[in-house]
Amino acid sequence: MVLTGAEIVVACLKEQGVDTVFGYPGGAILNIYDALYKHADEIRHILTSHEQGASHAADGYARATGKVGVCIATSGPGATNLVTGIATAYMDSIPMVAITCNVGTSLLGKDSFQEIDIAGVVMPITKYSFIVKDVRDLAKVIRRAFSIAKSGRPGPVLVDITKDATANTTEYIQQVPDVILPDTAAITDEDLHTAAELIKEAKRPMIFVGGGAIAADASEELLEFAEKINAPVCDTLMGKGAFSGEHPLYAGMLGMHGTKYANFGVTHCDLLIAIGTRFSDRVFGNAAKFAQNAKVLQIDVDPAEIDKNIRTTASVIGDVKEVLKRLNPMIGQYDHKEWVEHIEELKLKFPLKYNLDGLTGPYVVEEIYRVTKGDAIITTEVGQHQMWAAQYYKYSKPRQLLTSGGLGTMGYGLGAALGAKTARPDKTVINIAGDGCFRMNMNELATASRYNIPVIEVVINNHVLGMVRQWQTLFYGGRYSATVLNDKVDFVKVAEALGCKGIRVTKKEEVGPALEEAIAHGGPVLLDCQIDCDDKVFPMVPAGAAIEDAFDEDDLKKKEM
């Protein structure tokens, strides 16, 4: 059949099973919006308050489901407003397709109104970026974009389409999408046997898991692996839920704000098995002192990650699920009772703890965990509240914690929550935010109220930029440059003005009832939880220090004495 380019875009989205797109219209993309209007019963369009919110919503949709998230925007500033969200998805390996439209082909390169070379702009932060000038290429490019986004190490792809390509017509033939098979080409028997031998020889193995295990849907294989070799498991921020936080072998998060027992465990293990993690600087601290006593076995789909930050003893390159499927039958049932008991002793000696007097961020997170029975999808912004959400909520399943790990994007969480709730209406979805982050994306509460998307926005409000202030307190002599937010902005009134319910929380005993009221409300709700401006995230590893140098409040008091 003969279709316009705009109709081909919609037809290709339907081919790929897309049921929701997030976006914001403009002149250059009007033809696509006209086509979406005609197919509104098949593809739901969520009009966000800002294009950045659309990109974060598409990202949240993808993280919550494992499917490709889709966002769309017009040319020029509409397209550039997607950039932060595209970069966020790229850093965290999230499958996303961003569709933008540009000025007509005859106007390209002439500094036309709202013209920007968006394909060039995003080249370093996408797996691939396309510009389509000929309608005959459009279907092929969109299909390829989805294939690239999903295959191997997932990530975002951008398709920019000139306006005339959306108006012109060509023959369209429907196709069944390609089946994306796990990447197994590089998995060799030799590498597997080497891995199995390292595991057999280890006396103090430690498993370190990242977001790649979630992307590969490898949780069941990971559980079998951990229980077979009887090894403690620690994770990255991105790996939360890949291995249940409620399992006896779980040893918490590793790194700058990880648990002391995870950091000490990695420091003293003799084999570190890294699964689906890229060894971020926030994890290893001082690379020269990281896991000095250990051989390192790395399992990852991306060969570029091997030996990039931490030198390995051996590696297996391939889809994590497929690697573990092949490796599990090759290893025996091992008993590392003394080592596991040692980690248990460290858990007792160095538990996570916080001030129990008054309302604090950790208490709010623990109440969220209690009220939701550990079954909510949690999104976060970036800062102290993000670390508390990682430390004090026990994620038992993958795709429960959606957070910007690599880019550290303030303003990510509320858009991501909208995407997650749209994708998973059966789940309670709560965004844990700081007041600084909330100021960056509070306009998306209007999106929540427009569509009555019942997300819960929990603002841990300390009237400062908390994490930056923490660094200023500890390392900059208490010089609080541009971090105090103690002004007259009333978040409850803001929420109400944007069509949402607002609840202020100032005491510990108010948190649980407020959460229960918010869940029962059935619409979007904001909780403004007022905490002290000097509450801090502990443990902490100073930048560039060894992870075994983690300190907490007790250590600071001893040092002062």
Residue ending a domain, choose from 298, 318, 349: 349
Structural domains in the chain (count):
3
Q: What CATH number should be reported for the domain holding residue 487?
A: 3.40.50.970
Q: Spell out the residues 6+ positions from residue 301 whose beta carbon is closer than 8 angstroms to its own.
A: 152, 153, 183, 212, 216, 276, 317, 318, 319, 320
- On whether residue 25 sits in a domain, the answer given is yes
294 falls within a domain? yes
Of the candidates 63, 67, 66, 79, the one whose C-alpha atom is nearest the C-alpha of residue 13 is: 67
Do 343 and 365 fall within a single domain? no
Considering the domain architecture, whether residues 154 and 234 belong to the same structural domain is answered as no
Q: In whole angstroms, how far apart are CA 445 and each of 26, 85, 413, 418, 453? A: 22, 18, 12, 9, 9
What is d(CA 319, CA 54) in angstroms, rounded to the nearest whole number? 30
Q: How far apart are CA 561 and CA 558, in angstroms?
A: 5
Q: Say whether both 342 and 205 belong to one domain.
A: yes
Q: At 296, which CATH number?
A: 3.40.50.1220
Q: If you ran DSSP here, which 8-state letter would residue 249 be given?
A: T
In a domain, 451, yes or no: yes
In a domain, 177, yes or no: no
Same domain as 368, residue 343:
no
The whole-number pLDDT of residue 453 equals: 98
Alpha carbons within 13 angstroms on the beta-carbon side of residue 261 total 22
Question: Do 114 and 203 have their domain in common?
Answer: no
State whether 419 and 515 are in the same domain.
yes
Q: Domain for residue 318, yes or no?
A: yes
**Which of 302, 322, 349 is at the close of a domain?**
349
pLDDT of the residue at 557: 86
Q: Could you tell me the end-to-end alpha-carbon distance of the chain, in angstroms, rounded to an integer?
A: 80
**Same domain, yes or no, for 199 and 144?**
no
Identify whether residues 240 and 344 lie together within a single domain: yes
Burial of residue 397 (number of CB atoms within 10 Å: 0-12, 13-18, 19+): middle
Averaged over successive runs of 10 residues, the pLDDT of the chain (561 residues) comes to 98 98 98 98 98 98 98 98 98 98 96 97 98 98 98 98 98 94 96 98 98 98 98 98 98 97 98 97 96 97 97 98 98 97 98 96 98 98 98 98 98 98 98 98 98 98 98 97 95 98 98 98 98 97 94 88 74
- Alpha carbons 202 and 179: distance in angstroms, whole number: 39
Residue 555 placed within a domain: no
Query: Are 200 and 157 in the same domain?
Result: no
Quote the pLDDT of residue 558.
Answer: 85
**252 assigned to some structural domain:** yes
Active site residues: 51, 113-114, 163, 467
Domain span holding position 197: 189-349
Same domain, 133 and 264: no
**Three-state SS annotation for 320-375:** HHHHHHHHHHHCCCCCCHHHHHHHHHHHHHCCCCCCCCCCCHHHHHHHHHHHHCCC
